[in-house]
Structure 1
Amino acid sequence: MTWMNNSCLVTLAVLLLWRVEEIAEACSCSPAHPQQAVCNSDVVIRAKLVGRQEVDAGNDIYGNTIKRIKYDVKQIKMFKGPSHDIDAVYTAPSSSLCGVSMDTTGKKEYLITGKLETDGTMHVTLCDFIDQWDAMTATQKKNLIQRYESSCDCKITHCTSIPCVLSSPTECLWTDWVIEKTVKGEQAKHYACIKRNDDSCAWYRGSTPPRKEFLDIEDP
């Protein structure tokens, strides 16, 4: 009986160890407001994906081959990025490693934000903002050109539980999660955090340029 108990304890310990390793390997990142994602990215494009293949991307420190998924890209528009077109996007091979899965039939258009590597290739993870173009609001599409990048000096603070506190007048409090239990709420869909004339920042709804009385907080 003692032997069986010890065996069970060993088995349980092994299972717990596997579970800890799985959790440690899982992809984890804080969601970003679309404006913040655009400001933090090296590349922002609208594109279709027309192919997918697994490729080798060198070796890790142990000599094991690193695998990447290469998506062939048909770029439609570049909102931010290098002087050359993006013809491929690379990501990890599984979601546990923050890899992104996207449709490659060429029927869906995506807005894709990501990082530019030193070799000029674009890499994306689940932590980047990636959404189907048709699912984005008209305001988000306008803000890609008119609002987001012009106010990258503003900081968007993600509120995950009440109370939430701002530490600077250059911050905007992002409350979609605590109010709507989603990171794709009203502020993400329809608002931009823009800089006012006194260098403070505030949420602005709409895609048209804000009125002077909004920018100048001393006006009535």
Structure 2
Amino acid sequence: MELTWCSKWSTFTGCVLIWTCLLKIAQSCTCLPKHPQQHYCESDYAIRATVIDSHVVWPSADHIVRNGAVSLSSDVIHSAERAYKVIVSQVYKGDDIHRNQVMYLYTPYQEILCGIGHLDKGMQFLFMGSFDKMLGKHSFNLCNYHHKWSEVTPKQVEGLRHAYKNNCHVKIVTCGIDASCSNEQVELISVPLETTTWHSKDTEQHSVCQWDPWKGTCQLYEAICKKHHHTGHVYWDLSPDYELCQASLYPGVIDS
């Protein structure tokens, strides 16, 4: 069943709500929202994989057994991890990973420590995260990007295949939280930037792509931050579905 933009928006809103709740509940888990391109560029790996199984990895027996008795103290629980066994379908980043590889992805056991508590077996996801070379362990948590593959858009796939990697040198600035967004760039987002002549006294304004997580859902799914090969300006490269997304989420904002 194909997802509507409203259902995708609900998924994104849920993530923002989780992030907000975690800010209130536990200072140890503070995840500021990021664009998928930021996640990709900052991650050690990015893969499409299917969840096969999962289990809890507890600390060694020496840590659990104290004075001859089993102890599940807060220290023990905080050290525990959940290991997701997955089979890799596609590798978008990560030289140590290959297709059809069966591997484990580790996440904190406790959700208040940014752990991912439940992923359905048989479900395919896009995973991004970190790799500990010393331990040979691939990890991810709530602050990393993980998303159902069925909800990944063609524009995001374009980014995963080459565009994100080729544009990791450009900067995306998250605005609308600590700092306000520039109205000028927000307006320019909705026009075909490849044919737009930039007129601005403030060159710094066009050296970054602004992303407002409260209003930029369509940029999340349907835009890649790139540097214009002629002008050198940084801009949002929009998919053909961008305006459809905008019209679905913000009826009346875009003229028909």
- SS of the residue aligned with 1:204? strand
1:188-214 deviation per Cα after TM superposition (whole angstroms, max 9, x unaligned): 01000001224431111128xxxxxxx
Given the alignment, which residue of 52, 55, 68 partners 1:53?
55
Alpha-carbon separation, structure 2, partners of 1:136 and 1:63:
37
2:113 is aligned with 1:100: no
Alpha-carbon separation, structure 2, partners of 1:176 and 1:24:
21
**Which residue is equivalent to 1:74?**
87
2:120 is aligned with 1:120: no
2:142 is aligned with 1:142: no
Q: How does 1:1-220 map to 2 (within 5 A)?
A: 23-25=25-27, 27-57=29-59, 64-65=75-76, 66-85=79-98, 87-106=103-122, 108-118=123-133, 119-161=135-177, 163-165=180-182, 169-177=206-214, 179=215, 185-197=217-229, 198-206=231-239
Which ranges of structure 2 fall in alignment gaps of 5 or more residues?
1-23, 64-72, 186-203, 241-256
Alpha-carbon separation, structure 2, partners of 1:164 and 1:84:
38
Structure number with higher helix proportion: 2
Whose radius of gyration is greater, 1 or 2? 1
Q: Is the 8 A contact 1:157 1:173 kept in 2?
A: yes
Which ranges of structure 1 fall in alignment gaps of 5 or more residues?
1-21, 208-220
**Which residue is equivalent to 2:244?**
none
Q: Provide the aligned length of Structure 1 versus Structure 2.
A: 178
Scaled by the length of structure 2, what TM-score is found?
Answer: 0.63
- SS of the residue aligned with 2:220? helix
Alpha-carbon separation, structure 2, partners of 1:102 and 1:171:
36
Alpha-carbon separation, structure 2, partners of 1:26 and 1:42:
22
**What's the RMSD between the two structures over aligned residues?**
2.6
Q: Is the 8 A contact 2:91 2:97 kept in 1?
A: no
Scaled by the length of structure 1, what TM-score is found?
Answer: 0.72
Alpha-carbon separation, structure 1, partners of 2:161 and 2:147:
17
Structure 1 stretches of 4+ moved >6 Å: none
